Structure 1
Amino acid sequence: MNKAQEQVSFKDVCVDFTQEEWCLLDPAQKILYRDVILENYSHLVSVGYCISKPEVIFKIEQGEEPWTLEEGFPNQCRPVESEA
């Protein structure tokens, strides 16, 4: 069976985190996320993926936190409270 090849987009290979989710990651997980996202974007560009650079890539390159804004979440990371 011959299936037509579909074009892969950056959204297909990118995982978005809310600020709350990002705060739950430990430093090693955040570094791994940044490395993988940059590598995925680099691979897509190397095979001819031509659109404007995604915001998450700009944020990572500037050393900013790459989470997405979602209403209702706090502006800063807070420690997770344990149940007593």
Structure 2
Amino acid sequence: MDKSTELVSLEDVAVDFTWEEWRDLNDAQRTLYRDVMLETYSSLVSLGYCISKPEVILKLEKGAEPWIRKEYPKQCLPG
């Protein structure tokens, strides 16, 4: 398969935010993000590129905050 016929996934074009990044967005930016992500997903589905609905789309459709939790390694505290 050459480069021009490779499939695109939502993960290829999606932007993920941490909580810290999400809270810095204003309401207009959050609305724009939701609109663009849902439209992009819809376009990919109409082209047959998406099989299962990603977690971020499920969250956006429910009106939930789509930010991702940044995991930090657990640290051992001195006893």
Q: TM-score, normalised to structure 1's length?
A: 0.78
Q: Which amino acid aligns with 1:49?
A: Y
Q: Distance in 2 between matches of 1:4 and 1:40?
A: 19
Paired-residue identity, %: 63
Stretches of structure 2 that go unaligned for 5 or more consecutive residues are 73-79
| Aligned partner of residue 66 in structure 1, secondary structure | coil
Q: Distance in 1 between matches of 2:56 and 2:65?
A: 9
Q: Distance in 2 between matches of 1:27 and 1:5?
A: 37
Deviation at 1:49, TM superposition (A): 1.7
For structure 1, which segment, 5-14 or 39-48, has the greater mean C-alpha deviation from structure 2 after superposition? 5-14
Contact map agreement 2:22 2:67 (CA 8 A) in 1: yes
| Matched residue, 2:19 | 19
Q: TM-score, normalised to structure 2's length?
A: 0.82
| Structure 1 residue runs of 4 or more that deviate by more than 3 Å after TM superposition | none
Q: Distance in 2 between matches of 1:51 and 1:19?
A: 27
Taking only aligned residues, the RMSD between alpha carbons, in angstroms, comes to 1.6
The correspondence of residues 9-48 of structure 1 with structure 2, limited to 5 A, is 9-48=9-48
| Aligned partner of residue 33 in structure 1, secondary structure | helix
Q: Which amino acid aligns with 2:36?
A: V
Give per-residue Cα distances to partners, 1:11-48, cap 9 Å, x unaligned.
Answer: 01110000100000000000000000000000000001
| Aligned partner of residue 40 in structure 1, secondary structure | helix
